[in-house]
A and B are shown apart, each in its own frame.
Chain A
Amino acid sequence: MPSPAATLRFLAAEGASRILGNTLLTLARSTAGFLLGLAAAAALGYLYTLHWAAREAVRALNTLLQSVSVLVWIIVFLILFGIYSPLPPVLVSAAVSLPILLSSIVAGLESSSRGLVELAAVLGAPRWRLYPDFLLPSLLPQLAGAARAALGAALRISVVAEAMGASGGIGYMIENYYSLAEPVGVFAWGLLLVALMVFLDQLVLARLERWVKEWATLPRR
């Protein structure tokens, strides 16, 4: 078992460019996957508001997405695109983000006040503007919390996908040192991943969530 000091020394010896390059690659993949999941969830939310049949289809899809194991997604995308493709980590991140975000949107739409729908009608908003102008903005405070959870999950899962088949990134480095039987390397890159997640969650996402909630919520008088 490598000591903490040995782990830190190993990490320092890896060099800034190698650490930065692989970290940014993992971040880019997980963020791209998250944004893909967010766009898909927002689009499915729009479909949900259009017709009862679409609503039932979105509900069923949400249940299906929640029940599929991450491992299944990783294997499917690796089979489809190959281990050297940059797509599997991105798509796996999207597949993990999507049900978290979609569940939040669907729950929000199901509990959203009838008042907003009636306000839109009284203001003369066409039906296709109801979702983007009234319903989606009203969901932003709770969606911000879901987005924080989804981006964290996307990062964790993209690392797993990188470990199983990718040509770079934190997950790739962990797998690489595991194959070379160098536990200090596994620990060093694992430590980096933990530090990155804590930094992202506490210093970036938590603040972003707070800001969105303040921005989109009226203060109580």
Chain B
Amino acid sequence: MGDAPPAVEARCLSKRYGGRTVLDCVSLEAGRGELVAVVGPNGAGKSTLLRILAGLEEPDGGSLRAEKPLGLVFQENMLLPWRSLRDNIAMGLRYRRLPRGEAEERVRRAAELLGIADYLDRRPGEVSGGTARKAAVARMLVLEPRVLLLDEPLAGLDAASRRSLLEALRRIADGGRAVILVDHSLADVAAVADRVYVLSPPPGRVAAVLDLAALPPGERAKRLAEAMLRLAR
């Protein structure tokens, strides 16, 4: 991460719903240009953590500092079925009153980065699930967030779409943004993530942190296998 302060710095976040602890002192950092993954089983508090980072929920304890603006890609695409992908992607720009040319340019750049430029004039029902998911990512990306959060972006996608989306997210991070995604699958995200936070079964605690940034692909797989073995014990 270098000497620059991280774009997101969460210290000992905790969250309770009623008498149930969902997050138990979870700390996390993401710097500019980093792709950070949070993985864990169902109920580990991954989505809650993301919602706290996005400001949609208040933590019960801990501290959080995050650079703004901050974009959140929800688990459901929530694209408007009767609008083209172009109009869906540009939706947030309407509220920022950008000049038309600049808005179109942002949509074009985001679509090219995500590899969906050929589908901009199609409606969500006319494209694959992977393309629709990328459009949902592009809708946030055009708002030029410093931090991009994604809630299980790989859910429901086939292997090729997952790989393609992860590569696109890697490019987004390489462009200087902090990207944080949560997912079930350690294997999927370990291929592209700089760091992986593994949450324990409920209540969610950080069970392991894997720093993978400088490791070659073969070494990543080895570190991943070791971590999985440790967690399985």
Contacts and interface: CB of A to CB of B under 8 A. Distances in A.
Q: Do A and B come from one complex?
A: yes
Interface of A: 113, 115-116, 118-119, 121-126, 129, 133, 137, 215-219, 221
B140 interface: yes
Contacts of A133: 91
B176 to A, nearest CB: 21
Interface of B: 54, 56, 71-72, 74, 76, 78-82, 91-92, 95-96, 124-125, 129, 139-140, 143
Given A115-B78, A122-B71, A124-B92, 7 more contacts: A119-B74, A119-B78, A123-B139, A125-B95, A126-B95, A216-B81, A216-B82
Contacts of B72: 118, 122
A122 B92 CA distance: 8
B71 A215 contact: no
The A contact surface, by secondary structure, is helix
Nearest to A212: B82
A212 to B, nearest CB: 10
A123 B74 contact: no
A125 B24 CA distance: 33
Contacts of A124: 92, 95-96, 143
Contact of B74 (A115, A125, A215, A218): A115
Contacts of A115: 74, 76, 78
A125 B82 CA distance: 19
Which of B56, B81, B124 has most A Cβ within 10 Å? B81
B125 A118 contact: no
